[in-house]
Structure 1
Amino acid sequence: MSNVVLSASVRQNLLSLQSTADLLSTTQNRLASGKKVNTALDNPTNFFTAAGLDSRASDINNLLDGIGNGVQILQAANTGITSLQKLIDTAKSIANQALQSNVGYSTKSNVSTQITGATPDDLRGTTSYTSANAVSKVVVDGTAGGAHPITSTTTLGATSTSLAGVAAPNGAGTAASLAPGLTLIGTPGATTIQGSSAPVDGDTLMVNGKTITFRAGTAQTAVLPAGSGINNAGAGNLITDGNGNTTVYLGSTGTPKATVQDLTDAIDLASGVKKALISNGQAAVSHSSGTDAGIIGGVLTLTTGTGSDLSITGHADLLNGLGLTSSLGSGDVTVTQPRQITAGSLGTLIEDGSTLNVNGKTITFKNSAPPLAANVASGSGVLNGVVADANGNSTVYLQGGTMADVLTAIDIATGAQGKSISAGGALSLTPGTGVASQVVAGALKISTGTSSDLTISATGNALVALGLAGNTGTNTTFTATRSAGIGGVSGKTLSFSSFKGGTPVNVTFGDGTNGTVKTLAQLNVALKANNMSASLDATGTLVIAAGNDYASSTLGSTLDGGAIGGTITSALTFTVPNPPVEDLTSQAARANLVRQYNNVIEQITTTSQDASFNGVNLLAGDTLKLVFNETGKSTLNIVGTALTPAGLGVPTLTIGTDFIDNAATNKTMAALNVASTTLRSQASSLGSNLSIVQIRQEFAKNLINVLQTGSSNLTLADTNEEAANSQALSTRQSIAVSALALANQSQQSVLKLLQ
Structure 2
Amino acid sequence: MSGIVLSASVRQNLLSLQSTADLLATTQNRLSTGKSVNSALDNPTNFFTAQSLDNRASDINNLLDGIANGVQVLQAANTGLTSLQKLIDSAKSIANQALQTTVGYSTKSNVSTTIAGATAADLRGTTSFASATASSNVLYNGTAGGTTAANGTTTLGATIGAFTGTAATTGAGGTTLLGGTITLIATNGTSASGLAGVAQPADGDTLTVNGKTITFRAGLAPATTALPAGSGLSANGHLVTDGSGNTTVYLGSTGTASTLATADDLLTAIDLASGVDTASITAGAATITNSVNQTPSSIAGTGKVTLQSSTGADLSVTGKADLLNALGLTTSSGAGNATINVARTTSAASLGATITDGSTLNVDGHVITFKNAPTPGSTGAPAVPSGYGSSGAVVTDGNGNSTVYLQSGTVNDVLKAIDLATGVQTATINANGTATLATATGQSNSTINTSGQLKISTGINADLSITGTGNALNVFGLAGNTGTATAFAASRTSGVGGIAGKTLTFSSFNGGTAVNVTFGDGTNGTVKTLDQLNTKLQANNLAATIDANGLLTITASNDYASSTLGSIAAGGVIGGTLTSALTFSTASNPVQDGVAQTARANLVSQYNNILNQIDTTSQDSSFNGVNLLNGDQLKLVFDETGKSSLNITGVTYNSKGLGLASLTVGVDFIDNAAANRVLTNLNAASSTLRSEASSLGSNLSVVQIRQDFNKNLINVLQTGSSNLTLADTNVEAANSQALSTRQSIAVSALSLANTSQQSVLQLLR
Query: C-alpha deviations, 1:172-208, integer Å up to 9, x for none?
Result: x9999x99568683279xx999995653311223344
- Alpha-carbon offset, residue 430 of structure 1: 2.9
Q: Does 1:370 align with 2:375?
A: yes
User: Structure 1 CA distance, aligned partners of 2:320 and 2:723?
Assistant: 144
The residue number in structure 2 matching 1:752 is 763
Residues 209-218 or 359-368, more deviating = 359-368
User: Which amino acid is 1:399 matched to?
Assistant: Q
The residue number in structure 2 matching 1:231 is 232
The residue number in structure 2 matching 1:131 is 133
* Unpaired segments ≥5 residues, structure 2: 39-46, 83-88, 90-118, 545-549, 567-571, 585-619, 625-635, 637-677
- Alpha-carbon offset, residue 18 of structure 1: 7.8
From the superposition, tell whether residues 308 and 507 of structure 1 become closer, same or farther in structure 2 (CA, over 3 Å).
Answer: closer
- Written as runs of structure 1 = structure 2, the 5 A alignment for 1:133-532 is 133-141=135-143, 150-157=150-157, 185-186=186-187, 196=197, 198-216=200-218, 218-219=221-222, 229-232=230-233, 234=235, 238-250=239-251, 259-260=261-262, 263-277=266-280, 285-289=288-292, 290=294, 304-308=309-313, 312-315=317-320, 318=323, 344-346=349-351, 349-350=354-355, 352-354=357-359, 363-372=368-377, 375-376=383-384, 381-388=389-396, 392=400, 394-412=402-420, 415=422, 417-422=424-429, 424=431, 426=435, 428-431=437-440, 435-441=444-450, 443-447=452-456, 449=458, 451-452=462-463, 459=470, 463=474, 475-477=483-485, 482=490, 488=499, 492-493=503-504, 507-509=515-517, 519=525, 527=537, 529-530=539-540
Contact kept in structure 2, 1:207 and 1:267, CA below 8 Å: yes
- Alpha-carbon offset, residue 449 of structure 1: 2.5
User: Structure 1 CA distance, aligned partners of 2:403 and 2:124?
Assistant: 32
User: Which amino acid is 2:153 matched to?
Assistant: T
Q: How many residues align?
A: 595
Contact kept in structure 2, 1:381 and 1:387, CA below 8 Å: yes
From the superposition, tell whether residues 698 and 322 of structure 1 become closer, same or farther in structure 2 (CA, over 3 Å).
Answer: closer
- Alpha-carbon offset, residue 369 of structure 1: 1.0
Contact kept in structure 2, 1:237 and 1:250, CA below 8 Å: yes
- Alpha-carbon offset, residue 750 of structure 1: 3.5
Please give the secondary structure, in 2, of the residue aligned with 1:695. Answer: helix
Contact kept in structure 2, 1:275 and 1:287, CA below 8 Å: yes
Contact kept in structure 2, 1:131 and 1:434, CA below 8 Å: no
Contact kept in structure 1, 2:426 and 2:437, CA below 8 Å: yes
Query: C-alpha deviations, 1:607-661, integer Å up to 9, x for none?
Result: xxxxxxxxxxxxxx99999xx9xxxxxxxxxxxxxxxxxxxxxxxxxxxxxxxxx
- Written as runs of structure 1 = structure 2, the 5 A alignment for 1:670-685 is 682=693, 685=696
Contact kept in structure 1, 2:163 and 2:307, CA below 8 Å: yes
- Alpha-carbon offset, residue 272 of structure 1: 1.9
Query: C-alpha deviations, 1:141-185, integer Å up to 9, x for none?
Result: 59xx988764422333456688889799889x9999x99568683
From the superposition, tell whether residues 272 and 350 of structure 1 become closer, same or farther in structure 2 (CA, over 3 Å).
Answer: same
Contact kept in structure 2, 1:416 and 1:447, CA below 8 Å: no
Contact kept in structure 2, 1:416 and 1:448, CA below 8 Å: no
- Written as runs of structure 1 = structure 2, the 5 A alignment for 1:630-709 is 682=693, 685-686=696-697, 688-700=699-711, 702=713
User: Structure 1 CA distance, aligned partners of 2:437 and 2:709?
Assistant: 111
Q: Give TM-score scaled by structure 1 length.
A: 0.54
Residues 317-326 or 258-267, more deviating = 317-326
The residue number in structure 2 matching 1:588 is none
The residue number in structure 1 matching 2:26 is 27
User: Which amino acid is 1:367 matched to?
Assistant: N
From the superposition, tell whether residues 294 and 526 of structure 1 become closer, same or farther in structure 2 (CA, over 3 Å).
Answer: closer
Query: C-alpha deviations, 1:579-603, integer Å up to 9, x for none?
Result: xxxxxxxxxxxxxxxxxxxxxxxxx
Residues 474-483 or 229-238, more deviating = 474-483
- Alpha-carbon offset, residue 384 of structure 1: 0.8
Contact kept in structure 2, 1:137 and 1:468, CA below 8 Å: no
- Alpha-carbon offset, residue 234 of structure 1: 3.1
User: Structure 1 CA distance, aligned partners of 2:428 and 2:454?
Assistant: 26
User: Structure 1 CA distance, aligned partners of 2:700 and 2:331?
Assistant: 125
User: Which amino acid is 2:132 matched to?
Assistant: T
Please give the secondary structure, in 2, of the residue aligned with 1:27. Answer: helix
- Alpha-carbon offset, residue 406 of structure 1: 2.7
Identity percentage over the alignment?
Answer: 32
From the superposition, tell whether residues 419 and 669 of structure 1 become closer, same or farther in structure 2 (CA, over 3 Å).
Answer: same
* Unpaired segments ≥5 residues, structure 1: 1-6, 40-45, 82-87, 89-110, 119-124, 512-516, 535-540, 547-552, 575-620, 629-666
